[in-house]
């Protein structure tokens, strides 16, 4: 195929995040960072993701048909925004029909991406031409689409690196690996895999075919693992992306799928320093009502103050679950507990009153907690969260394991909540040291900044090679 020549030296990258809350935010921040270094970025969202973002932004008094419009007007960055379908109507409830939604991402979504990129490649008015696909590692199709259109294939792993290479990473881990530490698909191979585990493993199989892999972690956090991975593939640890030096306009880009409660800050303002346990199990995972109630009873017994962000659909119901908490919970925790449907997690974790985090160990949550120096009480639910728990509890030693993979009990919740909030095990000092590691990594001469610069240089070289090859 004969392609038109670019009028400049800019590299045009199409970025495709997974339509999940925890994946979108690092993609947005990476897009802004690349654009600030002269890249042209086309950011591809689904109509459903966009609708969630706009709905949440409208609840906060903001409105825009293009999430990057303010950032673009303020900074002049070349970020273009486009929407495609994901194979389902907007009214389809993706949050409570996980398996059906994942099947659509597995078999249908790639056709929409393929059509979009094909149209960009054929258009004479797209300048510079597209020569790079930067897609989420949580997809099964990027290698096929990139090869078809002659694109450099970059896979962006938004979690830690423990799962990126499946089995090969284990020799680089310096602590003993137990079955409960493995990603959920590998914990019990005798049981049938659920849809998300099957999807994840197929995604990993595709990710290792990429020309380059980048990850939202810092080399110093996982040096042995990253060194082992670099033996197989160009691999760059460029995180935490949200803590790199970003354009000021980054704050104008909406990234929340849900309206954020305005009640959190004034409630926290009235609490003493390090006195509040923040509780959240993320934007995707389902948790059984019995488990929710047992945790609630444990919090009531602990006497600790807490702020609990809990989705109405957390048990898998399409509507707010009635009677989610045990009888008498409101009365027993009156004056020391606040329950909200969603919140600005960074704002809560960075508040002086927040002293602990009961978390599902999603990677974004772990990084935010470390950055804000908030020790963690770890309750992983699926996928890489089990590896993340191991890093937090056994490697960095900045958290406590809640129930070790066993059934959660109220007495254990009570006892470990009090241990966490007392910081009697030196958690505060260990967290301070870990935070310093992250700060050094994202500094001007830090490892993440250097990895990012090397990555950008390699992308420019590879895209130029693709360009030259197609013009011959």
Backbone angles phi, psi at 332, to 5 degrees: -70, -30
Q: Do domains 11-156 and 256-424 have the same CATH topology?
A: yes
Q: What integer pLDDT is reported at residue 48 of this predicted model?
A: 95
Query: What does the DSSP assignment read for 99-134?
Result: HHHHHHHHHTHHHHHHHHHHHHHH-TT-SSPEEEEE
Q: State yes or no: pLDDT of 234 exceeds 90.
A: yes
Q: What topology does CATH give the domain 11-156?
A: Rossmann fold (3.40.50)
Cα radius of gyration rounded to whole Å, the chain:
22
Q: Angle formed by the axes of helices 363-371 and 21-36, to 10°?
A: 60
Q: Cβ(146)–Cβ(153) under 8 Å?
A: yes
Task: Name the residue ranges covered by the structural domains of the chain.
Answer: 11-156, 167-209, 256-424
Tell me the pLDDT band of 183, cut-offs 50, 70 and 90.
low
Percent with pLDDT over 70 in the chain: 88
- Res. 173: pLDDT tops 50: no
Task: State pTM to two decimals.
Answer: 0.90
Tokens representing residue 191 in the block = 């049981």
Q: Are 279 and 350 in contact (CB under 8 A)?
A: no
pLDDT for res 438: 96
Query: 85-89, 117-121, 161-165 — which is least confidently predicted?
Result: 161-165
DSSP output for 170-204:
GGG--S---GGGS-HHHH-TTSPP-HHHHHHHHHH
Torsion angle of the four alpha carbons 120, 125, 131, 133, in this order, in degrees rounded to the nearest 10: -40
Residues 6 or more apart whose CB falls under 8 angstroms from that of 146 comprise 133, 152, 153, 211
H or E stretch including 453?
A: helix 447-471
Lowest-confidence region among 3-12, 61-70, 457-466? 3-12
Q: Does domain 256-424 have CATH number 3.30.420.40?
A: no
Torsion, Cα 40 159 373 379, to 10 degrees, reads 150
**444, burial (CB in 10 Å: exposed 0-12, middle 13-18, buried 19+):** exposed
More confident call, 291 vs 62: 291
10: DSSP letter: P
């Amino acid at each position: 195929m004969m392609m038109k020549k670019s009028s400049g030296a800019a590299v045009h990258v199409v970025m495709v995040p997974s339509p999940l809350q925890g994946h979108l935010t690092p993609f947005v921040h990476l897009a802004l960072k690349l654009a600030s270094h002269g890249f042209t970025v086309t950011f591809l969202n689904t109509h459903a993701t966009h609708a969630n973002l706009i709905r949440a932004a409208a609840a906060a008094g903001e409105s825009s048909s293009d999430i990057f419009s303010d950032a673009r007007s303020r900074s002049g960055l070349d970020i273009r925004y486009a929407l495609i379908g994901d194979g389902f109507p907007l009214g389809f409830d993706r949050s409570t029909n996980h398996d059906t939604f994942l099947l659509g991402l597995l078999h249908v979504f790639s056709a929409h991406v393929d059509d979009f990129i094909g149209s960009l490649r054929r258009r004479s008015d797209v300048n510079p031409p597209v020569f790079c696909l930067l897609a989420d590692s949580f997809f099964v199709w990027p290698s096929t689409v990139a090869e078809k259109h002659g694109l450099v294939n970059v896979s962006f792993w938004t979690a830690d690196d423990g799962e990126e290479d499946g089995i090969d990473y284990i020799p680089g881990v310096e602590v003993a690996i137990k079955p409960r530490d493995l990603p959920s698909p590998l914990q019990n191979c005798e049981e049938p895999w659920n849809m998300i585990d099957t999807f994840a493993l197929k995604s990993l199989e595709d990710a290792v075919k990429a020309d380059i892999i980048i990850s939202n972690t810092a080399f110093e956090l996982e040096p042995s693992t990253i060194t082992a991975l670099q033996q197989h593939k160009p691999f760059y640890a460029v995180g935490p992306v949200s803590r790199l030096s970003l354009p000021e306009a980054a704050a104008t880009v909406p990234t929340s799928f849900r309206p954020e409660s305005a009640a959190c800050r004034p409630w926290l303002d009235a609490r003493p320093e390090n006195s509040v346990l923040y509780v959240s199990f993320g934007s995707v995972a389902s948790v059984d009502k019995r488990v929710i109630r047992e945790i609630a009873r444990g919090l009531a017994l602990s006497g600790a103050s807490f702020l609990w962000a809990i989705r109405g659909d957390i048990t898998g119901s399409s509507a707010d679950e009635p009677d989610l908490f045990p009888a008498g919970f409101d009365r027993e925790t009156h004056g020391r507990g606040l329950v909200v449907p969603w919140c600005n997690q960074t704002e809560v974790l960075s508040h002086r009153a927040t002293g602990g985090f009961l978390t599902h160990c999603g990677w974004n949550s772990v990084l935010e907690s470390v950055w804000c120096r908030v020790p963690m009480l770890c309750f992983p639910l699926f996928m890489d969260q089990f590896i993340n728990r191991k890093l937090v509890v056994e490697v960095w030693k900045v958290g406590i394991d809640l129930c070790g993979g066993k059934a959660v009990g109220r007495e254990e919740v009570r006892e470990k909540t009090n241990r966490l909030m007392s910081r009697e095990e030196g958690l505060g000092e260990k967290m301070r040291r870990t935070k310093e590691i992250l700060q050094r990594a994202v500094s001007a001469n830090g490892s993440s900044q250097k990895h990012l610069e090397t990555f950008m240089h390699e992308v420019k070289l590879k895209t130029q090679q693709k360009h030259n090859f197609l013009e011959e």
